[in-house]
């Protein structure tokens, strides 16, 4: 009888970074973690080549540590339909067949939307483990959401869930800036914090730098960070009003941050939630942390191929 754990290679492809690691199940433990920058401006083919190289190197290293890679799960910062095909190209113009054929030289591969992968990790191993229904929000280069019911990320009719921050918002006026319509991602994501802060003559290269400047007392950074958290919190409140979850779990680089962004987000959500029934529901950070995406991608492969 083979008692070896199921071993999957999880790859989380985001707009800023690609994180990968060997994950063993059923414990969801990460081994041999690696991370490289995405640099999507180079084009989809260059990024895909990096993913293939990273996967090949990790699978080879895994073998030297007596791990046999049984499957690969790849989480994508794009829409992925119910058949596991990539159906958008907002960050990376990849074709599903190219991804699968390349990675299949290593092991059978499943593709999943990155937010659903991270939500699955929280459902299996994180703050959502004891929850029947929760909303997962990831906040980083982009902002996405996922409803999880009985441990399963909700796919919708077409798999095109999660784009809560991509549509234009009504004109909000100050303190959000120019008066032009914008999306929530253009207000509250990492790149949005950088753009808005630098318009105020700040000098930041990442959302985390803007958050740090706010923590250090920079008035412009604090205004940008607080207004971003307020806008995101109001949107989370809308989801709570509509979906009635037991809790909200927030991940991603900004979602896991401390300070004014988090404080403003939570305060805004609680203020904007309509019903007293929901107002004090738990709003917590993802306990699988920065590894949520790669763990969840690997878990999707485990679920499909074990």
DSSP code per residue over 181-209: --BSHHHHSHHHHHHHHHHTT---SSHHH
Q: Give the integer Cα–Cα distance in Å for 207 and 25.
A: 34
- The structural architecture, per CATH, of the domain 6-120+290-305 is 2-Layer Sandwich (3.30)
What is the CATH number that goes with domain 130-286? Answer: 3.30.420.40
- pTM score: 0.94
96-105: Cβ within 8 A, 24+ apart: 98/48, 99/48, 99/51, 99/74, 102/48, 102/51, 102/52, 103/51, 103/52, 103/55, 103/72, 103/74
Q: Give the integer Cα–Cα distance in Å for 245 and 117.
A: 19
* Per-residue pLDDT, 1: 46
* Per-residue pLDDT, 268: 97
Q: What is the CA radius of gyration of the chain?
A: 19
Q: Give the integer Cα–Cα distance in Å for 226 and 266.
A: 11
Q: Tell me if residue 238 falls in helix, strand or coil.
A: helix
* Spatial contact of 117 and 78, defined as CB atoms under 8 Å apart: no
* Spatial contact of 23 and 29, defined as CB atoms under 8 Å apart: yes
Backbone angles phi, psi at 38, to 5 degrees: -75, -50
18: preceding bond cis by omega (within 30 degrees) = no
| 270 class by beta-carbon count within 10 Å (0-12 exposed, 13-18 middle, 19+ buried) | middle
Residuewise pLDDT in 10s, the chain (306 residues): 457 899 999 999 999 999 999 999 999 999 999 999 999 999 999 999 999 999 999 999 999 999 999 999 999 999 999 999 999 999 999 989 999 999 999 999 999 999 999 999 999 999 999 999 999 999 999 999 999 999 999 999 999 999 988 888 766 555 555 556 789 999 999 999 999 999 999 999 999 999 999 999 999 999 999 999 999 999 999 999 999 999 999 999 999 999 999 999 999 999 999 999 999 999 999 999 999 999 999 999 999 999
* Per-residue pLDDT, 114: 97
Tell me where in the chain the CATH 3.30.420.40 domain(s) lie: 6-120+290-305, 130-286
* Spatial contact of 121 and 115, defined as CB atoms under 8 Å apart: no
Q: Tell me if residue 287 falls in helix, strand or coil.
A: coil
* Spatial contact of 269 and 250, defined as CB atoms under 8 Å apart: no
């Amino acid at each position: 009888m083979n008692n070896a754990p199921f071993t999957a290679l999880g790859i989380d492809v985001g707009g800023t970074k690609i994180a990968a690691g060997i994950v063993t199940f059923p414990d969801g433990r990460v081994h041999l973690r690696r991370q490289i920058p995405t640099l999507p401006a180079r084009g989809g083919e260059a990024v895909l080549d990096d993913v293939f190289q990273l996967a090949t190197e990790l699978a080879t290293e895994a073998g030297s540590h007596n791990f046999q890679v049984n499957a690969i799960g790849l989480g994508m910062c794009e829409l992925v339909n119910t058949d596991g095909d990539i159906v958008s190209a907002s960050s990376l113009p990849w074709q599903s067949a190219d991804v699968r054929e390349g990675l299949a030289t290593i092991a059978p591969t499943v593709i999943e939307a990155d937010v659903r992968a991270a939500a699955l990790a929280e459902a299996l191993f994180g703050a959502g483990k004891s929850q029947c229904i929760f909303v997962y929000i990831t906040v980083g280069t982009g902002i996405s959401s996922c409803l999880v019911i009985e441990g399963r990320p909700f796919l919708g009719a077409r798999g095109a869930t999660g784009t809560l921050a991509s549509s234009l918002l009504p004109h909000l006026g100050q303190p959000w800036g120019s008066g032009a319509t914008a999306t929530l991602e253009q207000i509250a994501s990492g790149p949005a914090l950088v753009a808005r802060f630098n318009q105020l003559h700040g000098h930041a290269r990442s959302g985390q730098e803007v958050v740090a400047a706010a923590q250090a007392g920079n008035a412009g950074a604090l205004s940008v960070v607080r207004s971003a958290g307020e806008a995101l919190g109001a949107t989370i409140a809308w989801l709570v009003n509509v979906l009635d979850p037991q809790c909200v779990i927030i991940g991603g680089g900004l979602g896991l941050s401390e300070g004014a962004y988090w404080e403003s987000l939570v305060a805004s959500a609680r203020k904007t939630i309509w019903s007293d029934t929901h107002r004090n529901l738990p709003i917590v950070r993802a306990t699988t942390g920065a590894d949520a995406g790669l763990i969840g991608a690997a878990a999707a492969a485990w679920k499909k191929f074990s």
